Amino acid sequence: MNNYEGTIEFWDERFGKNISEQKYYNPNSPLTMTEIEEGLKWLTKGSASIIDFGCGSGTLLFRSLALGAKNVVGVDISPKAYELAIQTSTANKMNDNTNFVVGSIECLNKIETNSMDAGISSNTLDNIFPIDAKLVIKEFNRIIKKNGKLLIKLNDTMAEAVFEDDYYQLVSENFYKEESGLYFWNLSDSKFKELISPYFKIVQYFNVPFPKTDYKNRLYYLVNDK
């Protein structure tokens, strides 16, 4: 597997800060980002089982359960994110409905073909090696049932000039390692379409304003029609 040590360190530090408190969540409380809330409403309609790659502490999966999903699987490379997800699941007596695992693509390889109704990957696919992102999409295509749904959120595309800063170290074409330890793939809309179209059909696209910045996130509603 490619080296994600910096990624793990970064996210463990972030998620580790929240671990001391027990996590309760209110199933009646919608997500603050309305576009994501709407995306999950679309995704969960008719979808009992949902898998999230790069699920973090499981926020989108817990919300999916509140919106009607029955079983969720969350994969994340950060052990601290996993701990937090388990804590929330246990505190809310949802362990029968959740399955969180620590790891990366090798976890997807173990999941049965056509076994899930829907999938999510939010702000993860353009923070991993392009070759790995392609594998995740291919695995989603295998795991998600025919006509099953997929919700993908990507970071914004950045102007080339941004990467002249020493903060970014070029790894390969349009793919950088940040000083933070994270990777960033400057993935254009057209490149994403090229990547996804052999596996999923894009049914809707939305811009999601990124709080307190001029940047946006990109939200794709996809269907497995292949």
Ligand X SMILES: C[S@@+](CC[C@H](N)C(=O)[O-])C[C@H]1O[C@@H](n2cnc3c(N)ncnc32)[C@H](O)[C@@H]1O
In this structure, what token pair is assigned to residue 41?
């409403």
* Interface pattern 162-201 for ligand X (x via CB under 6 A): ----------------------------------------
CA–CA distance, 185 with 140 (Å, rounded to integer): 20
Token couple for 198: 């052999």
For residue 28, give Cα distances in angstroms to 17, 62, 63, 74, 138.
26, 11, 9, 21, 34
> Could you say whether residue 55 binds ligand X (CB under 6 A)?
yes
Which residue type, as a one-letter code, is found at position 41? K
Angle among Cα 155, 157, 161 to the nearest 5 degrees reads 130
Residue 4: CB minimum distance to ligand X, A: 5
Q: Does 77 bind ligand X (CB under 6 A)?
A: yes
Whole-Å CA distances, 125 to 93, 154, 185: 30, 7, 8
Tell me, by CB under 6 A, how many residues bind ligand X: 19
CB nearer to ligand X: pick between 61 and 94: 61
User: Per-residue string for binding with ligand X, 10-49, x by CB under 6 A?
Assistant: -x--------------------------------------
Residue 4 binds to ligand X (criterion: CB under 6 A)? yes
Q: Is 59 in the site for ligand X (CB under 6 A)?
A: yes
Q: Which is nearer to ligand X, 190 or 213 (CB)?
A: 213
Q: Is 73 in the site for ligand X (CB under 6 A)?
A: no
Binding ligand X (rule: CB under 6 A), the pick from 47, 78, 141, 174 is 78
CB 149 within 8 A of CB 42: yes
Residues 80-139 binding ligand X (CB under 6 A) are 81, 104, 122-124, 127-128
Nearest to 53 by CA among 112, 113, 11, 106: 106
What is Dmax (Cα atoms) for the chain? 49
Residues in touch with ligand X (CB under 6 A): 4, 7, 11, 54-56, 59-60, 75-78, 81, 104, 122-124, 127-128
